[in-house]
Structure 1
Amino acid sequence: MSANPAAVPKIALSNVYKQFGPKKVLNGIDLDVGKGESLVVIGGSGTGKSVMLKCILGLLSPDSGSIRVDGEETTRLRSREREKILHKFGMLFQGAALFDSLTVWENVAFGLIQGERMPRGRAKEIAIAKLGAVGLTPDVGELSPAELSGGMQKRVGLARAIADEPEIIFFDEPTTGLDPIMADVINELIVQCVKDLGATAVTITHDMASARKIADRIAMIHQGRIIWTGHARDIDHSDNPYVDQFVHGRADGPIKMQVRAL
């Protein structure tokens, strides 16, 4: 459900810039995400999607601009204050990013044990419950990540993202590498988990089927700027040539891919 526009946004970026050497990656990002909203950010590779998420999380510092979470400016926080903000976030990484040396349940419970200092027994109970929420049985918790299929690894990554019942969840290319059926299963699980938690969700993806299923609202980033935002149902008639080219996967259009001759 979209947020009340009069309410303070859960996340608000204003005129955010970030560059690495001469390369400008974020070129004045303006974007609000309402409380309880599911926003999907689309755009080609290298357009700044992942850098934007890292700036929100504080893994990167923007060169200028404002990033607010629940109205609180986060770009100048000290480490202890930033840790408090980070407790609001859960993250499903591209490729699941599971620890090979830990069992599945230990992966899910990692933040609870290491971050919350929760006793292992209680953390395991929560981990098994969260695995159940993504359709995995308790015996899966005793396996190692290497014993899981790609789809199961994504489910474990999702269980870890929701283990601490975060207020905000980031999904980084959640369906990459999955077949269409498993991708749809993951999309359904994301929608259900976000709904059950009442969380705010931000997803970055190239997968338009995923975007249409997950999103309340879609934003497109191009050359480090947000060039269109709108309701998910409006994506196919945006009247924006960049959006139209990306959504329909056309080679011809205003977005020019850099291809080097062999």
Structure 2
Amino acid sequence: MTDGGIPSDMAVQTPKIAMNDVHKSFGPKHVLRGIDLTVDAGSSLVVIGGSGTGKSVLIKSILGIVHPDKGSIRVDGRETQGMSARDREDVMAGMGMLFQGGALFDSLPVWENVAFGLIQGKRMARRKAREIAVEKLALVGLGADVAALAPSELSGGMQKRVGLARAIATDPDILFFDEPTTGLDPIMADVINDLIRDQVQRLGATAITITHDMASARKIADHVAMIHQGRIIWTGAVERIDHSDNPYVDQFIHGRADGPIQMEIRRP
């Protein structure tokens, strides 16, 4: 039983991430227009939506890279808006991210890219950090021989794998994936999707992925949210997405030129 007399199995779980009425503008451009979104611990959420709808700004707001103009963002129940730099570092320590395009450091070998957060964030000894980097590379299907290579010596798919190894290097409990399959052929994209799903499950992590790739969304997601014009217009289990009864979702997932999204694009 909880202190309030509610059976523990009926107690309300604090969301891992909770966004309430989050707004962000860049000059006259309103990108986020009142985002309301919750993500439960251990859940994999995929946020879909067209280019310029606010997907990347949503993730960057949670990470603290972008500071919202208004609203609340809670992580494990802790309000992050107005948080001190030290407290923000504590929150960030539990997060990992796979950036679009990999975003590897060209001047560092692969192992040091993977171990960057261990060395710079956790002040881990380089030898130990290298051992962990090789272990994480193995988890994404890359051998120890890759560790000494430069990022420029890798294919696009291998760079994505290295980026994923870096994201999981610190065993984070929250993972973010920014368009993880962009630029990859369909087979390699499916490999990356499998790796993401496997590593999220291995860590028991909470994951947020932003993508326009519906094959990726269907494989990675437990739940899906669609963002349009800076607002979340639909959320639901991934199994419900084909029966959402939402014309925006229906048009987007089927890639149709005609529909409410296109009509709004055509407005002067």
| TM-score between the two structures when normalised by the length of structure 1 | 0.96
Take 2:266 and 2:202, find their aligned partners in 1: how far apart are those partners?
Answer: 44
**Residue number in structure 1 paired with 2:5:** none
Corresponding residue to 1:247 among 248, 253, 262 = 253
Paired letter, 1:242: Y
SS in 2 for 1:230: strand
In the TM superposition, what is the alpha-carbon distance from 1:6 to its structure 2 partner? 2.4
**Residue number in structure 1 paired with 2:7:** none
**Residue number in structure 2 paired with 1:169:** 175
Corresponding residue to 1:213 among 195, 216, 219 = 219
- Asked if 2 retains the 8 angstrom alpha-carbon contact of 1:190 and 1:214, the reply is yes
In the TM superposition, what is the alpha-carbon distance from 1:5 to its structure 2 partner? 8.8
SS in 2 for 1:142: coil
- Asked if 2 retains the 8 angstrom alpha-carbon contact of 1:28 and 1:225, the reply is yes
SS in 1 for 2:124: coil
1:35-74 equivalences under 5 Å are: 35-74=41-80
**Residue number in structure 2 paired with 1:150:** 156
Paired letter, 2:143: T
- Asked if 2 retains the 8 angstrom alpha-carbon contact of 1:113 and 1:120, the reply is yes
In the TM superposition, what is the alpha-carbon distance from 1:258 to its structure 2 partner? 4.1
Take 2:14 and 2:42, find their aligned partners in 1: how far apart are those partners?
Answer: 12
Take 1:31 and 1:6, find their aligned partners in 2: how far apart are those partners?
Answer: 17
> What do residues 93-127 of structure 1 show as CA deviations (whole Å, max 9, x unaligned)?
00000011111001000110111110000000000
Take 2:112 and 2:67, find their aligned partners in 1: how far apart are those partners?
Answer: 31
Take 1:143 and 1:64, find their aligned partners in 2: how far apart are those partners?
Answer: 44
SS in 1 for 2:261: coil
Take 1:129 and 1:234, find their aligned partners in 2: how far apart are those partners?
Answer: 37
1:1-150 equivalences under 5 Å are: 6-150=12-156
Take 2:36 and 2:12, find their aligned partners in 1: how far apart are those partners?
Answer: 17
The sequence identity of aligned pairs, in percent, is 71
> What do residues 203-257 of structure 1 show as CA deviations (whole Å, max 9, x unaligned)?
0000000000000000000000000001101111110000000000001000027
Supply the RMSD in Å over aligned alpha carbons. 1.3
User: Structure 1's 105 and 5: CA in aligned 2 closer, same or farther, altered over 3 A?
Assistant: farther
SS in 2 for 1:126: helix
| Off by >2 Å, runs of 4+ in structure 1 | 256-260
